[in-house]
Amino acid sequence: MPIRQHRDWELKESQVTPERVYQNRRSLLKTMGVGGLMAGAVPLLAACEDNTLIVYEKDPSAPLYPVKRNTRYQLDRPETPEKLATTYNNFYEFGSHKNVWRVSQVLPLRPWEVKIDGLVEQPITIGIDELLKKMPLEERLYRFRCVEAWSMAVPWSGFALKALVDLAKPLGSAKYLQMETFHNPTVATGQKQGWYPWPYREGLTLAEATNELAFIATGLYGKPIPKQNGAPLRLAVPWKYGFKSVKSIARFTFTEKQPLTFWEKVNSAEYGFWANVNPKVSHRRWSQATERVLGKAGRVPTQIFNGYGEYVADLYKGMEGERLYS
């Protein structure tokens, strides 16, 4: 696990090796005078795009993976290559471009406390490693459809969101589950941009949150989930557009009122609460009829509920008047 550390032997930021030297790890280690000590351990040190230095440490959850695959969830297409799924990302906390994987490595993952509060019997604050011990971990292959009309298919590891809801013991008055990302503008410099309503917030109805497909991903490709994909825990709701899948969650709050989500606050004309995938309902600026599969040429047709209608269509029966698909 990479965390930002300052040690006696560490260079000042002004002295940090320029990025071109990062291409040659041996040079970097030699410059720092630690080549012998560190030889063979990969990757232990990296100079980030902004020249900050990152020290990589072992992720304490690494021994948990890989976990057993739940074969109930099958793909209709090949898995997206790991390299693509982990280097083409949306994580506005670290910038509004797709190449955030490197800068997001500054996010510290321990300690990581998860707060569970709101309409529950007893609020809980629990460290991520303690939470992982309590949850039934499994692997699931899910398709993922971004509202920007690209898609991927990946093996998430993690646990059914219902297991966390059960742990929380919501009161009968709870109707929604709101989920919030960490807020730390010192490391996530995107959070210094005041025109965004930080922290990133998403929400589901309790019926959606306890649907068997709703999943909290803590791993990806049989390893702890990388920072750029939402470590140490992120939502995966494959029948909804990808922006619902909030990353790096620090707080779960049970509410009576429908949460106002990040993208609704930014632009409610384009992004709503439900955001279920539907090829027949266009985004205001582009069609949703087809999608570009990461790593493949051409486009494929998009499916209603991203192909998961058999699991979730019933959730929306009788709600035809609602804006369910954007």
What are the CA-CA distances from residue 2 to residues 201, 209, 280 (Å)?
25, 31, 43
**246 contributes a contact to ligand MTE by CB under 6 A:** yes
**176 contributes a contact to ligand MTE by CB under 6 A:** no
Size of the site for ligand MTE (CB under 6 A): 16
Give the span between the Cα atoms of 113 and 251, in whole angstroms.
8
**240 contributes a contact to ligand MTE by CB under 6 A:** no
What are the CA-CA distances from residue 87 to residues 75, 160, 223 (Å)?
21, 26, 16
**157 contributes a contact to ligand MTE by CB under 6 A:** no
Residue with tokens 């709050």: 253
The residue with its CB nearest to ligand MTE is 242
Cβ neighbors of 308 (< 8 A, separation 6 or more) are: 143, 213, 238, 239
| Stretch near ligand MTE under the rule CB under 6 A, chosen from 32-40, 157-165, 243-251, 268-276 | 243-251
**247 contributes a contact to ligand MTE by CB under 6 A:** yes
Are the CB atoms for 146 and 283 separated by under 8 Å?
Answer: no
**208 contributes a contact to ligand MTE by CB under 6 A:** no
**47 contributes a contact to ligand MTE by CB under 6 A:** no
**93 contributes a contact to ligand MTE by CB under 6 A:** yes
Q: What is the DSSP letter of 137?
A: -
State the minimum distance, in angstroms, from the CB of residue 238 to ligand MTE. 12
Q: What is the DSSP string of 181-210?
A: E---TTT-GGGG-TTS-SSPEEEEEHHHHT
**146 contributes a contact to ligand MTE by CB under 6 A:** yes
Region for 318 from its dihedrals, namely left if φ exceeds 0, alpha if ψ lies in -120 to 50, beta otherwise: left
Closer residue to ligand MTE, CB minimum distance, 173 or 193: 193
**261 contributes a contact to ligand MTE by CB under 6 A:** no
Closer residue to ligand MTE, CB minimum distance, 93 or 264: 93
Q: What sign for the dihedral angle of Cα 324, 169, 132, 65?
A: negative
**181 contributes a contact to ligand MTE by CB under 6 A:** yes
Give the span between the Cα atoms of 73 and 218, in whole angstroms.
17
**215 contributes a contact to ligand MTE by CB under 6 A:** no
**218 contributes a contact to ligand MTE by CB under 6 A:** no
Which residues are near ligand MTE by CB under 6 A? 89-93, 146, 181, 200, 229-230, 242-243, 245-248
